[in-house]
Amino acid sequence: MKVLLINGSPHEAGCTHAALAEAARVLRGEGIETELIHGAAQPVRGCVGCGGCAGPHRCVYDDDVVNRCIEALAAADGLIVGSPVYYASPNGALLCLLDRLFYAGGCHAAHKPAAAIVSARRAGTTASLEVLNKYFALAQMPLVSSTYWPMVHGQRAEDVAADLEGMQTVRNLARNMAWLLRCIEAGLRRAHELHPLNGRGARRAPRRARDSLCAFL
């Protein structure tokens, strides 16, 4: 199993990365493979609503990180998106990425657990989480929770490392993600074993949470 982590900060080694790196460390300790993509380190164009992605489930603009994220999401079983808080909202470049990611490749997201982690110096965190969680809800993704809202505080990466409650919340979120992924995998495996048509050359039950809806769209 594999979780894709998208860093929505323009700073590749900043506060948001510190939180995502801790989540990835815990996931790997739980036996979950991880992939981290820096989604806002370079400029990301916004969606122009051309509809060219409808057939290939890729964005027609291939000069930034969006199509790489679509491919990574298709291969992943879960998703964690991290963002700094700017003016009580996620980073604008990340929102451009997510608009195009879910519009073009949202069929790869359905039924895969997802979570958001935000980083702020002080305020705007819950408003930013609400914005990010809407993407997951519209894409039929189960939302992974923690023991508090998944947020960290600080102005530098070392400040985030010192945010003991925030980092523990991130660790708990990662463990909950791993638990839910194992539950889904076990349920799909059992469904495959019990499927009345299994092994007869007819349509089989899906084995993995990553089985995509794109094939049906």
CA dist 189 and 61 (Å) reads: 38
Q: Is the pLDDT of residue 28 over 50?
A: yes
pLDDT class for 43, splitting at 50, 70, 90?
very high
CA dist 74 and 81 (Å) reads: 15
For 26-48, what is the mean pLDDT? 97
State the distance between the two ends of the chain, measured CA to CA, in whole angstroms: 25
Identify the domain containing residue 59 by its residue range: 2-216
Question: Beta-strand (E) ranges in 87-145?
Answer: 89-90, 114-120
pLDDT at residue 201, rounded to an integer: 47
pLDDT class for 202, splitting at 50, 70, 90?
very low
Contact residues for 11 (Cβ-Cβ < 8 A; gap 6+) = 17, 41, 84
**Percentage of the chain modeled with pLDDT above 70:** 90
For 183-200, what is the mean pLDDT? 81
- How many domains does the structure of the chain reveal? 1
Contact residues for 78 (Cβ-Cβ < 8 A; gap 6+) = 1, 2, 3, 4, 32, 112, 113, 114, 144, 177, 180, 181, 209
Question: Who wins on pLDDT, 213 or 138?
Answer: 138
Q: What is the CATH number of the domain that holds 89?
A: 3.40.50.360
pLDDT at residue 195, rounded to an integer: 76
Task: State the DSSP H helix or E strand holding residue 83, giving kind and residue range, or none if neither.
Answer: strand 78-86
CA dist 46 and 95 (Å) reads: 8
pLDDT tens digits along 65-119: 999 999 999 999 999 999 999 999 999 999 999 999 999 999 999 999 999 999 9
For 151-173, what is the mean pLDDT? 98
DSSP 59: -
Which backbone phi and psi does 6 adopt, to 5 degrees? Answer: -115, 120
Considering the chain, what is the average pLDDT of its residues? 93
